Amino acid sequence: MLTIGKLGRASGVKVPTIRYYEQIGLLPAADRSAGNQRLYTRATQERLAFIRHARDLGFPLEAIRDLLGLSDRPEQSCAEVDAIARTQLLAVEGRITRLLALKTELERMVDHCAGGTIAECRVIEVLGNHAHCSADHGRDLLTVSE
Amino acid sequence: MLTIGKLGRASGVKVPTIRYYEQIGLLPAADRSAGNQRLYTRATQERLAFIRHARDLGFPLEAIRDLLGLSDRPEQSCAEVDAIARTQLLAVEGRITRLLALKTELERMVDHCAGGTIAECRVIEVLGNHAHCSADHGRDLLTVSE
DNA sequence: GCTAATGTCTCTAGCAACTATAGGTTCAAG
DNA sequence: CTTGAACCTATAGTTGCTAGAGACATTAGC
């Protein structure tokens, strides 16, 4: 049985985050020692590794909750799992597309800055004037979970 | 003088967001009508357009606060402005790099899913086993502001 | 001039996904 | 047996908004 600190080091997840996952029900309530400290099994360590890897891949916690639920029913069809992964792939592709447009515009801004005074600064000018901007970067760039 | 709703429509920023910007000091406290409603000038409209464009480009509000402060001192050197824009460019490039790695891994996962049962599902398997994962997508993907 | 609809006001709480802090308890090493 | 690290709970803070309640202001039509 591992204490929470060891589990955290083993899995690369911070201790408060593990407690948070328990609180929101992503991890089952841990067994406790005589002194009320959490004790974890290998099974929980694997579950946490799964969560961490999925988070690294950008899956939102709700999607991970679904995936964990599905992985507990191994004889069902994996269509739902596939759909969640494809949704995440689409989200990632969308973010890449928009970020590439931002990169282009930022590069234009930075490249045109001659290093003079702020009055002549292209960066400020471009930011102040939407007409200079060709790309139509969608609003939702800022709201998509990551 | 524009009311807040008209300003919002003109600038593409939602009304509560405008009030929020005032609350955190990004916009100056607006003049008020006899009935206590906010009234805006063209100058504020331009300032808001600047903020919106910078947000579209992914600048965090703190960076925008700095940029606005700098743009009020036009005879200074634009080195700081340049630095903020370059920082943002680097952040965007970093996010693109990591997202491309994620995309590769997600595509591998999805492509290998044969559509059978969950027990044989590659998606679940890959997520559960970090050893399958080649890319070292940094943790901070999830914490960087966007 | 009156009424109804829309717009605006303040204030509070909520979202994701944690992170940080305070103040206390337990455990392992020396 | 004491010290110090690790643990506990509970609450509040982070970023950038968004949503709701309940009250006041403005405007359009009649």
Q: pLDDT tens across A51-94, in order?
A: 998 888 788 899 899 888 888 887 778 888 888 888 888 888 88
Task: Write down the architecture of domain B4-56 according to CATH.
Answer: Orthogonal Bundle (1.10)
Q: Label residue B107 by pLDDT band (50, 70, 90).
A: confident
Is A75 within 8 Å of B117 when comparing Cβ atoms?
yes
* Nearest protein residue by Cα to C1' of nucleotide D18: B16
Contact map slice: B 36-75 vs A, CB within 8 A: 46, 49-50, 52-58, 67, 70-71, 73-75
Find which nucleotide's C1' atom is closest to A51's CA: C17
Q: What is the pLDDT, as a whole number, of residue A72?
A: 80
- What residue has token string 């989200």? A91
As a whole number of angstroms, the distance between CA A3 and CA B1 comes to: 63
| Domain residue ranges of chain A, discontinuous segments joined by + | 4-61, 79-136
| Mean pLDDT score, A3-20 | 95
Beta bridge partners of B117: A77
Using an 8 Å Cβ cutoff, are B92 and B58 in contact? yes
Q: CA of B140: which chain A residue's CA is closest?
A: A56
**DSSP output for B66-118:** HHHHHHT-TTSBSHHHHHHHHHHHHHHHHHHHHHHHHHHHHHHHHHH--S-BG
* pLDDT winner (highest mean) among A22-31, A120-129, B132-141: A22-31
| Mean pLDDT score, A27-55 | 94
Domain A4-61 is found in CATH 1.10.1660.10: yes
The 3-state DSSP class for residue A38 equals strand
Q: Which of residues 18-77 of A touch strand D (CB under 7 A)?
A: 19, 30, 36-38
Using an 8 Å Cβ cutoff, are A94 and A58 in contact? no
On chain B, the residues whose CB falls within 8 A of the CB of A117 are: 74-78
Model confidence pLDDT, tens digit, residues B32-76 = 999 999 999 999 999 999 999 888 878 889 989 988 888 888 777
As a whole number of angstroms, the distance between CA A32 and CA A14 comes to: 19
On chain B, the residues whose CB falls within 8 A of the CB of A74 are: 117-119
